[in-house]
């Protein structure tokens, strides 16, 4: 991991002296590394499952249900392995046989418009992955999720979701491509600053209006009716000085029996959406404790800090992307006759992957720390025991992995393993 990271930095600093052949070989090496690294991690994580039920869960699991959780993890892992292998073969084939270059030249011949060329390029790649992904998605939903009692989706909803996702993704591809190319063509150099600004504003916008614009396309949001739960949520919000007026129930049960919730928005757009499955399976006290955890993120400035870091990361990405765009041999390495926006994006995705991995690890370390702090906030301002019970129920109901491998946690987990969270919550707060 460190070697590939250093190598990537070296490449960014020395692109002018590297041949197209060396750059192509580097892309292939990075693709192989990413696949092997991910595969080994998944293997270690799958093999780390222990047969003994943790003491904290002996009241929730019997031998049969615990075995069910283990088999669910194995089934999901096998499907993920096959899916990632197909993706890897496709990527390597596109690199080795200059598929990206061929598609780029085809897009160039398709139209004189740079925007249409890049939109065509990305849409072809997206549609290919979309079609290839349908069998895996179908198997996941109607075989694995059905087998383990989670699936509530019918074929009509499944098809409808895919069509909606197709149109939304297509609109985003064309929209982002058009915006990026407009900025690039408007500035001969230093356009990374304007790309950074545009992407940052878009991220903030989507964060603020996600519940208003995206969620209703797939789900029905209904205001939480007046009753004990709403009174308790509002009472807690008033107690800790957290203004929250937008409280909704989302019809998650039409797709899955798994319980969930999400928080979105900024300022007056702050929104909490509780899945109907979550409300059905948890007491009012447990639900408020989950809310208290999320309020803790706000009070501890975790959301603001995460957004600032993400915006800074976007700046680094945009700067390095402009460097990629300035070297013609990168396009030649992928088999394209000339450098353009879409080829630059493909090349950048390979070159940036080790840097992204390192940044992702650092972000996950920070995120896990934040989760502990949010848990402590919920414990100190509401009810730690209710939160413990809620976390246990959520884990059992979703058949989550109770024994993730430490290295897998270090690389991928944005939340601490559940047992670690329970240990922290069970500790007595020292007297001040």
Task: Give residue-wise pLDDT tens across range 370-429.
Answer: 999 999 999 999 989 999 999 999 988 888 888 899 999 999 999 999 999 999 998 864
Question: What integer is the mean pLDDT of 192-214?
Answer: 89
Query: Given phi > 0 = left and psi -120 to 50 = alpha, else beta, which region is 264?
Result: beta
Q: Which helix (H) or strand (E) holds 12?
A: helix 2-13
Predicted confidence (pLDDT) at residue 67 exceeds the cutoff of 50: yes
Residues 6+ apart with CB under 8 A from 229: 279, 284, 287, 288
Interval 292-326: pLDDT, tens: 998 999 899 998 899 999 999 999 999 999 988 88
**Contacts for 299-303: CB closer than 8 Å, 24+ residues apart:** 299/240, 299/242, 299/377, 300/370, 300/373, 300/374, 300/377, 302/370, 302/373, 302/374
pTM, two decimal places: 0.87
Q: Are 9 and 358 in contact (CB under 8 A)?
A: no
| Cα(111)–Cα(327) distance, integer angstroms | 24
Predicted confidence (pLDDT) at residue 141 exceeds the cutoff of 90: yes
| Cα(205)–Cα(228) distance, integer angstroms | 33
Question: What integer is the mean pLDDT of 221-249?
Answer: 89
| Cα(347)–Cα(23) distance, integer angstroms | 9
Architecture of domain 188-272 in this structure:
2-Layer Sandwich (3.30)
| Cα(37)–Cα(43) distance, integer angstroms | 10
Tokens found for residue 194? 């304007």
Residues 6+ apart with CB under 8 A from 224: 230, 233, 247, 248, 249, 274
Band (pLDDT 50/70/90 cuts) for residue 432 is: very low
Top mean pLDDT of 86-90, 185-189, 220-224, 350-354 is at: 86-90
The whole-number pLDDT of residue 290 equals 92
Interval 260-274: pLDDT, tens: 888 887 777 778 888
Kindly report which listed range (8-22, 108-122, 177-191, 399-413) carries the lowest average pLDDT score: 8-22
As a residue count, the chain comes to: 432
Q: Are 224 and 248 in contact (CB under 8 A)?
A: yes
The whole-number pLDDT of residue 379 equals 94
Tokens found for residue 288? 């408020």
Q: Are 140 and 79 in contact (CB under 8 A)?
A: yes
The whole-number pLDDT of residue 15 equals 54
| Cα(92)–Cα(89) distance, integer angstroms | 5
Question: What integer is the mean pLDDT of 83-105?
Answer: 93
Kindly report which listed range (66-75, 91-100, 116-125, 358-367) carries the lowest average pLDDT score: 66-75
Tokens found for residue 378? 């919920």
| Cα(370)–Cα(300) distance, integer angstroms | 8
Q: Are 385 and 56 in contact (CB under 8 A)?
A: no
Order of strands, sheet of 246-250, starting from the edge strand that comes earlier in the sequence: 221-223, 246-250, 271-275, 261-264
The whole-number pLDDT of residue 431 equals 34
Domain ranges across the chain: 1-86+282-432, 98-186, 188-272
Query: Given phi > 0 = left and psi -120 to 50 = alpha, else beta, which region is 383?
Result: beta
Inter-CA distances, 155 with 137, 141, 152, 251, Å:
12, 10, 10, 17
Q: Please tell me whether residue 222 adopts helix, strand or coil conformation.
A: strand
Q: Are 358 and 404 in contact (CB under 8 A)?
A: no
| Strand partners for 272 | 247, 263
| Cα(44)–Cα(39) distance, integer angstroms | 9
Band (pLDDT 50/70/90 cuts) for residue 9 is: low
Band (pLDDT 50/70/90 cuts) for residue 211 is: confident
The whole-number pLDDT of residue 328 equals 82
| Cα(352)–Cα(5) distance, integer angstroms | 9
The whole-number pLDDT of residue 430 equals 39
Q: Are 418 and 402 in contact (CB under 8 A)?
A: yes
Closest C-alpha to 157, from 75, 220, 77, 73: 220
Predicted confidence (pLDDT) at residue 5 exceeds the cutoff of 60: no
Inter-CA distances, 156 with 138, 193, 419, Å:
12, 44, 39
Q: Please tell me whether residue 221 adopts helix, strand or coil conformation.
A: strand
Tokens found for residue 192? 């990374």
Predicted confidence (pLDDT) at residue 71 exceeds the cutoff of 70: yes
| Cα(372)–Cα(49) distance, integer angstroms | 24
Question: What integer is the mean pLDDT of 29-58?
Answer: 89
């Amino acid at each position: 991991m460190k070697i590939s990271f250093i190598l990537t930095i070296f490449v960014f600093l020395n692109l002018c002296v590297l041949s197209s052949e060396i750059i192509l070989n580097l892309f292939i090496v990075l693709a192989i590394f990413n696949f092997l690294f991910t595969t080994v991690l998944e293997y270690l994580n799958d093999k780390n499952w222990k047969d003994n039920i943790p003491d904290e869960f002996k009241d929730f699991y019997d031998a049969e249900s615990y075995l069910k959780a283990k088999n669910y993890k194995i089934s999901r892992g096998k499907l993920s392995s096959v899916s990632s292998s197909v993706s890897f073969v496709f990527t390597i084939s596109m690199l080795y046989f200059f598929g990206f270059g061929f598609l780029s030249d085809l897009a160039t011949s398709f139209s004189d418009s740079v925007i249409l060329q890049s939109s065509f390029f990305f849409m072809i790649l997206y549609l290919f992955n979309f079609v290839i992904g349908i069998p895996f998605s179908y198997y996941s939903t109607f075989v694995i999720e059905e087998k383990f009692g989670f699936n509530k989706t019918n074929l009509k909803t499944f098809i409808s979701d895919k069509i909606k996702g197709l149109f939304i993704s297509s609109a985003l591809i064309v929209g982002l491509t058009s915006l990026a190319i407009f900025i690039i063509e408007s500035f001969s150099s230093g356009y990374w600053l304007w790309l950074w600004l545009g992407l940052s504003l878009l991220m903030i916008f989507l964060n603020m209006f996600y519940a208003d614009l995206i969620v209703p396309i797939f789900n029905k949001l209904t205001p939480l009716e007046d009753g004990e739960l709403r009174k308790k949520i509002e009472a807690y919000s008033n107690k800790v000085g957290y203004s929250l007026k937008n409280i909704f129930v989302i019809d998650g049960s039409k797709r899955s029996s798994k319980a969930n919730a999400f928080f979105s928005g900024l300022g007056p757009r702050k929104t909490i959406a509780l899945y109907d499955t979550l409300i059905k399976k948890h007491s009012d006290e447990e639900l408020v404790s989950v809310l208290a955890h999320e309020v803790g993120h706000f009070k501890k400035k975790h959301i603001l800090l995460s957004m600032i870091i993400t915006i800074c990361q976007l700046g680094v990405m945009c700067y390095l992307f402009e460097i990629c765009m300035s070297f013609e041999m990168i396009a030649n390495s992928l088999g394209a006759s000339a450098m353009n926006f879409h080829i630059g994006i493909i090349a950048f995705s390979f070159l940036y992957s080790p840097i992204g991995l390192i940044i992702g690890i650092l972000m996950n370390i920070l995120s896990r720390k934040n989760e502990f702090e949010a848990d402590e906030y919920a414990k100190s301002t509401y009810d730690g025991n209710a939160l413990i019970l809620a976390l246990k129920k959520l884990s059992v109901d979703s058949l989550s992995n109770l024994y993730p491998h430490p290295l897998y946690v270090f690389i991928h987990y944005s939340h601490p393993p559940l047992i670690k969270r329970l240990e922290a919550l069970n500790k007595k707060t020292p007297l001040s």
